[in-house]
Structure 1
């Protein structure tokens, strides 16, 4: 793609003929020939590294309010000035990485506790069934036989498409953090399934109170009403969530009203023996993972299929 295709106002100029190989807003993931969006960070001064990355970048994009500052720094590469940098970044991402996420089956796991373990267990189960699967979460990004360091628990909108552009159709099991949901990082994925593990009093530095925190988690479901939901109703907020969303849903937990009811038979230092009951069926399981929380995590993973 050329600059003029993305910004028609430059189509007739020499700037409009510049080729764009990709889009980037993180210096860590910058590749030669990328269009780089200069976005201010709260804890990182992006303007201090612009000279260092100038050779790699094909063209810079920055908000008009920074025009004077950027013109003093960037001397060799052209610059496009826009009014709303985040809006233009989303538009450029959708244009340049159009179709990248098609063919992937997304399973998103959210909750205060257990989302990393639950998502990782689902990924492992998919692999044990010889199904192509990718894991994206706190402990890393696992793609095929490769592991990459995770910059964010939930990759941002652009980063996710850059990660998947070289991958083939597969299940993508992701942790969906409340901050990631609020920042619309997981929008437009049409997830196959959404899983809610629980909600407890954490991350209130960001959300301020439990009402806001719950509403952030709830948005994952209300924005994806056609995705199948699996919800832990041993947690109070799980019960509230079930009553407030339109998704087709199943519940799990020790609660006697759960669709998938967990019965814990024995917990020792060697592991846990438990059953999952569904209608008239019952399956027994043993896991070396310790603790009630891990029984819930494993039950969520097992009933997600």
Structure 2
């Protein structure tokens, strides 16, 4: 691609252009280690590393031109921009020939539910005979190939490359607030923008909940001219977003409990199986969904309304919902030989934990035990609320390690003890080793008890623990295996 074409796409991003030239370049890189002769290198000021420090290395490796923010004098064409992240998104979209235009793209944002809604939508579309890529927290799935994710939302360069590689008709994309603030979806064009909810999270990154909400609204700046919003108006944040988008004359479709919504949720039954009715276009539909919990009613309703707007027939959607296989690490059930139920879930906010614990109560758990922890160097303001919720809704809980992220074990243990002493209502204890915490619950579990292990979901452990396992599910499977061996020996 000719450099002049990228320059045109950058437009007002450009602050100054030194050593002007026009030529064909072969690729775009933001990692100097990956630069090949003839590439365009984009220097990004990251949170841990500053790409400007590696410009000389990139040039030595053959970078033909550089984009960056600092005022520099280089021996190759240098485009100084106001924001390198913004420039990267526009340059990558141009280089890959605006790949989102060849797909129907569904962006999903919100604090909770993004992953589950994305998997439900993928399942509905594939049941209807459509092909669908998925980019999200659990995995990136492109042309039926599964890749381990680097972030909930890929960086701007990776996301354009994945979109270009996809031959699928649809692409479903989880869009985090971090991604929106960092212009990771710059250059994308969305057909549908879904908003699930907003609750207390990421206030280590966002100064206020209002700033967090404002970041979520940025997704709607990337809609195609005919694009539409699908919003859960089960909270005041959904109402506020709907008002903002109505003011911009964007089509808005909503779910809620009132007749004014495009999809009205009615008659939820959660005793052992998730059943509920919806009213859509004056027609009443009865739905059965395998995933437990009221929050999954909302997730299924969001997917249902979106699929209808895409053009999928309601009877196809109803059948697809019946056979939904679930999401790895999202309310994933592991049976216990004594008749207890163990749950692995990604829940890491007050609301998400409440959803999980409430689902256990709905299924008439005779006792609820909750195992969870906190990530080091992350939003500390939500920890008190998470413990208060668990203390109020569990019979007992265990505080344990999550990802330490550089925080010392001693410091994290001290904080867990202090939080438990202040807010635990004498129901909690601290077992720092996550695998020992899970083993303790496994060895004492009785029939009818529910044990919820939250915070990690399908993610692998970052720390070494006593048991030779790498995830919460892996720990439970190891304990199952060891117990089966003992029974055979006995």
Taking structure 2 as the reference length, the TM-score comes to 0.53
Would the alpha carbon gap of residues 183 and 4 (structure 1) be closer, same or farther in structure 2, given more than 3 Å must change? closer
Matched, 1:233 2:233: yes
CA contact 2:29–2:42 (8 Å) conserved in 1 = yes
Partner SS state of residue 258, structure 1: coil
2:278 alignment partner in structure 1? 276
Matched, 1:302 2:307: no
Question: CA offsets, 1:78-135, max 9 Å, x none?
Answer: 7443322616534532442224332111111111110111112111211121212110
Distance 1:190 1:62 in 2: 23
CA contact 2:142–2:168 (8 Å) conserved in 1 = no
Match of 1:82 among 79, 83, 87: 79
Partner SS state of residue 303, structure 2: helix
CA contact 2:101–2:189 (8 Å) conserved in 1 = no
CA contact 1:234–1:255 (8 Å) conserved in 2 = no
Matched, 1:161 2:163: no
2:204 alignment partner in structure 1? 205
2:215 alignment partner in structure 1? 216
Partner SS state of residue 127, structure 1: helix
Partner SS state of residue 153, structure 1: coil
Matched, 1:250 2:250: no
RMSD (Å), alpha carbons: 3.1
CA contact 2:89–2:184 (8 Å) conserved in 1 = no
Match of 1:44 among 42, 49, 52: 49
CA contact 2:88–2:156 (8 Å) conserved in 1 = no
CA contact 1:135–1:141 (8 Å) conserved in 2 = yes
1:20 alignment partner in structure 2? 25
CA contact 2:98–2:187 (8 Å) conserved in 1 = no
2:358 alignment partner in structure 1? none
CA contact 1:106–1:190 (8 Å) conserved in 2 = yes
In structure 2, stretches of 5+ residues that fail to align are 8-16, 308-490
2:118 alignment partner in structure 1? 119
Taking structure 1 as the reference length, the TM-score comes to 0.81
